[in-house]
Structure 1
Amino acid sequence: MSLAERLGDAARLNNRGAALYAKGEWKESLLLFRQSLEGMIAQLREVAPGNAVADDYSALYLLKKNFDVLPCTGTAESPNKDAESPMVFLNPIVFSSVPTQDQETSLTVICGMIVFNMSIASHAKAMQGDTACLAQALQLYESSVNFIYRTPHAETVFASVLSAALNNKIQIYHSSCRFDELDRDSQRLSKAVYVAYAHEVRDPNSLLSQQDFEGILLNLLLLKRPTKAQAA
């Protein structure tokens, strides 16, 4: 099987997972995303045997983790969010094509995007009441960000994906009162969303819509460490 065929198979698994995710079939979508990730990492190890990303803790953890035994199972409607809730980005990434040039970089980024899809599937289920999935979502967001940050020019070329993942992370950190991590990722998000907005706000194919950008900026304004007066 050629490289293009293998990448195509992995992309189709991801896209099937995205379709199931849209129906609220969380367990099934996670399994397909995981199969897609396995294919991409196997291909990355083949084209770049010494690639540290393919053998780091994040990748090995994700492949060994038995997600289907966690409480993220069954089906549910899309998460309900009231108008005053922080904006959480929950749209999966679907591949219309998979680049075969600059294979090592492309595969690394694609792995990060697939892990991002796994993240939002876990996060969406957590928002339906399976709170055990929230810790899983946070681990997956961190792995997704790590994959992408290790590629050249990640902060400019993939700023929208980073913005979506970091936005969702700060929402989790704020709700769980993890303020040191909140401060760190808010700074990273401020930079990423500025770059994404500058390059993609008028791009109809952008991952983030105008409404998404506005929601992220509002989160940066509101999701902050409480002041001493507020804490008192």
Structure 2
Amino acid sequence: MLEKKQNRTCLGCNQLERSWWGGTSKYVCSIGMQKARTDVYEMPRCKKFNEEGSSLMGVKDQVVTATQSSNLRWEADFVRAVDRLTALGLSDPLGSALWRSKYCNDAASGRRAVLLLTKKVEARLRVERTYAQRLSTAAFREWMLDACDRCAGVGTITDRGHVDTCPKCNGSGAKRYSDAERALAAGVPVESWSKHAKKFDDVLICLNGASAATAGKVRELLKDSH
């Protein structure tokens, strides 16, 4: 029965990524086929299930390196910086802006990311623009500053020569935002945050989904360029 259940889900797919959002571990499809879930068994397997696909590790590093390259010469037989930049430009607009902001320290892309996220949230949640912008700004800030402030995102701390699991993030390396911190970042009363929490989670899903979709698109395009 367990095997049958597993065979109906995304479990084992190389396009499945595990992410930490505000201290909560969730699973995200790297090519945007599934919505994020805390339980992988809630993600029904799609026709693009892939258990032999290449890992996404290194894709972000390749893009960051490309943005810092002074050589944009194109070559037919090799993947160069220009290919990686082109792949990023052809990916999800929101995800591309998020990547440029976080991994390339591009402030203008950060403003664009908040604007694009606000428009998407406004349409999907059917809320007014000002409210969508507040939630989007708070979510963007949380996504940008996601490293545990005790261990700097490493997951471990060194005390008198001994390496131990960080007690603040339990080894995840992710900063855990409290309801009060989220409420203040979104500009809403702390005591009423419970009314906004579900919408904020939806904004995070939207943001992380765009980032994951960009990872999948960039990998796909670079794979095709070989």
Q: TM-score, normalised by structure 1?
A: 0.25
- Bigger relative contact order, structure 1 or 2 (CA pairs below 8 A, ≥6 apart): 2
The structure that is strand-richer by fraction is: 2
The structure having more radius of gyration, on CA atoms, is 2
